[in-house]
């Protein structure tokens, strides 16, 4: 075990003694339980020189996160920065402007520029997740512009829609459209062969670098809206998906909305697995639409649903 990991996880007494607000006499820093199952990767991640520039190894941290090592341990080194910094664009123009290539460290991506990312959707021989996300002049620009679903949510929301979460939100376009409506949306995303987090931040939006396996970092009954598109689907084990849905329910305020946008599965899975799972949560259906997924031949379908969290009496 690396010396830095031992230093980080050590339990230490509080300098001023017992803290009456916390009810604690010691402080311990946490890491995910699966970190120790990934000892080789973890030792590489923690094998830095304290007080120096961190290695160019953010991808090791992401690999650990995807393997259940979340949260990652903190490190006592300085994050690498690009050699030449270009200041970001100002709001509101930044929402739909491509940032400078100088704002990103490109060493661990197949593309080395935003122009390359913008054009990779044209390459039909290679599959890219969210292939057209970086093309802000293409399909990404038209998403949620004239959205009947959003109009319906805003019309029904008691107290309005003010704050929310986009789970697995790509490059942040849902958050951008919501900001244009005066709503603050935080976007969770990973850097899967592209600088998704940097891109969202350059647009003037807030990214959270987290997997869908991580407990949502919000208190109970606080958010007006949770939206997710594509990231939740039948690739997730059913039991794991159930935990995710209950966590979404936890952070939504009573009367808040869960927008399940283009959840895909096979027709038989929808009826036998996913409809019963969703119905167990007791949401009120505002919209429920099922359509064919035309790019697959194995009878896959899309479910798009807007669901309202009920008021539950606990006494």
pLDDT tens, residue by residue, 25-75: 999 999 998 999 999 999 999 999 999 999 999 999 999 999 999 999 999
Asked if 60 and 185 sit in the same domain, the reply is no
Q: What is the pLDDT of residue 248?
A: 98
Domain-ending residue, one of 29, 47, 66:
66
How far, rounded to the nearest angstrom, does the alpha carbon of residue 201 sit from its chain's CA centroid?
13
Q: What is the mean pLDDT of residues 256-260?
A: 97
Q: At 126, is the pLDDT very low, low, confident or very high (cuts 50, 70, 90)?
A: low
d(CA 214, CA 266): 26
Residue 272 placed within a domain = yes
Cis upstream peptide for 71 (omega within 30°):
yes
Q: What is the mean pLDDT of residues 183-194?
A: 97
Lowest mean pLDDT segment, chosen from 75-84, 163-172, 276-285, 290-299:
290-299
Q: DSSP character for 35?
A: G
43 is in which domain, residue-wise? Answer: 3-66
d(CA 268, CA 301): 10
Which pLDDT tens digit goes with each residue over 192-240? 999 999 999 999 999 999 999 999 999 999 999 999 998 999 999 999 9
Residue 113 placed within a domain = no
Asked if 244 and 160 sit in the same domain, the reply is yes
Residue 284 placed within a domain = yes
Residue 84 placed within a domain = no
Asked if 54 and 187 sit in the same domain, the reply is no
Angle (CA) 227 229 235, round 5°: 125
Asked if 163 and 49 sit in the same domain, the reply is no
Domain-ending residue, one of 38, 66, 94:
66
Residue 75 placed within a domain = no
* Residue 123 reports pLDDT greater than 80: no
Domain-ending residue, one of 16, 45, 66:
66
pTM of the model: 0.93
Asked if 274 and 190 sit in the same domain, the reply is yes
Q: Are 67 and 87 in contact (CB under 8 A)?
A: no
Asked if 288 and 173 sit in the same domain, the reply is yes
Residue 121 placed within a domain = no
* Residue 170 reports pLDDT greater than 70: yes
The rounded mean pLDDT for the chain is 93
The CATH number that applies at residue 299 is: 3.40.50.150
Q: Are 255 and 157 in contact (CB under 8 A)?
A: yes
Q: What are the strands, taking DSSP E only, across the chain?
A: 12-13, 26-27, 163-167, 184-189, 206-209, 223-229, 252-266, 284-292, 300-308
Q: What is the pLDDT of residue 130?
A: 81
Lowest mean pLDDT segment, chosen from 45-49, 111-115, 129-133, 194-198:
129-133
Q: At 127, is the pLDDT very low, low, confident or very high (cuts 50, 70, 90)?
A: low
Spatial neighbors of 282 by CB under 8 A, at least 6 apart, are 310, 312
Asked if 143 and 252 sit in the same domain, the reply is yes
CA distances in angstroms from 236 to 75, 231, 274, listed in the order given: 31, 9, 12
Asked if 55 and 195 sit in the same domain, the reply is no
Asked if 291 and 184 sit in the same domain, the reply is yes
Q: DSSP character for 265?
A: E
Residue 39 placed within a domain = yes
Asked if 148 and 231 sit in the same domain, the reply is yes
Share of the chain above pLDDT 70, in %: 97
Asked if 151 and 277 sit in the same domain, the reply is yes
Asked if 157 and 31 sit in the same domain, the reply is no
* Residue 144 reports pLDDT greater than 80: yes
CA distances in angstroms from 208 to 20, 65, 119, 226, listed in the order given: 32, 13, 26, 14
Q: In this structure, what are the phi and psi dihedrals at residue 96, rounded to the nearest 5 degrees? A: -130, 25
Looking at the chain, list the stretches that DSSP marks H as alpha helix, in order from N- to C-terminal side.
Answer: 3-9, 39-45, 58-66, 114-119, 139-142, 148-156, 173-180, 196-202, 238-251, 267-269, 275-280
Spatial neighbors of 9 by CB under 8 A, at least 6 apart, are 28, 29, 30, 31, 73
Q: What is the mean pLDDT of residues 165-193?
A: 97
Number of domains in the chain: 2
Residue 100 placed within a domain = no
* Residue 298 reports pLDDT greater than 80: no
């Amino acid at each position: 075990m690396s010396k830095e990991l031992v230093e980080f996880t050590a339990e230490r007494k509080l300098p001023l003694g017992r803290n009456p607000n916390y009810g604690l006499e010691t402080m311990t820093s946490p890491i995910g339980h699966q970190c120790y199952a990934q000892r080789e990767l973890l030792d590489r991640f923690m094998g830095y020189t304290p007080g120096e520039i961190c290695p160019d190894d953010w991808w090791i941290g992401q690999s650990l996160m995807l393997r259940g090592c979340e949260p990652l341990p903190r490190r006592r080194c300085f994050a690498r920065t690009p050699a030449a910094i270009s200041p970001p664009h100002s709001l509101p123009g930044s929402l739909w402007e491509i940032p400078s290539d100088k704002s990103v460290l490109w060493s661990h991506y197949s593309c080395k520029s935003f122009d390359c990312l913008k054009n990779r959707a044209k390459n039909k021989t290679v599959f890219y997740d969210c292939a057209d996300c970086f093309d802000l002049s293409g399909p990404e620009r038209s998403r949620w512009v004239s959205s009947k679903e959003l109009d319906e949510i805003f019309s029904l929301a008691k107290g309005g829609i003010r704050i929310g979460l986009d789970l697995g939100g790509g490059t942040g376009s849902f958050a951008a459209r919501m900001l244009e409506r005066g709503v603050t949306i935080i976007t969770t995303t990973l850097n899967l062969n592209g600088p998704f987090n940097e891109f969202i931040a350059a647009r003037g939006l807030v990214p959270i670098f987290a997997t869908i396996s991580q407990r949502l970092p919000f208190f109970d009954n606080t958010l007006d809206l949770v939206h997710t598109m594509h990231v939740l689907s039948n690739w997730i084990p059913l039991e794991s998906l159930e935990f995710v849905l209950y966590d979404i329910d936890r952070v939504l305020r009573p009367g808040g909305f869960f927008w399940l946008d283009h959840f895909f599965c096979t027709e038989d899975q929808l009826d036998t697995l996913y409809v019963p799972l969703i119905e167990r949560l007791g949401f009120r259906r505002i919209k429920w639409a099922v359509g064919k997924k035309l790019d697959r031949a194995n009878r896959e379908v899309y479910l798009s649903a807007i669901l309202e969290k009920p008021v539950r009496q606990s006494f």
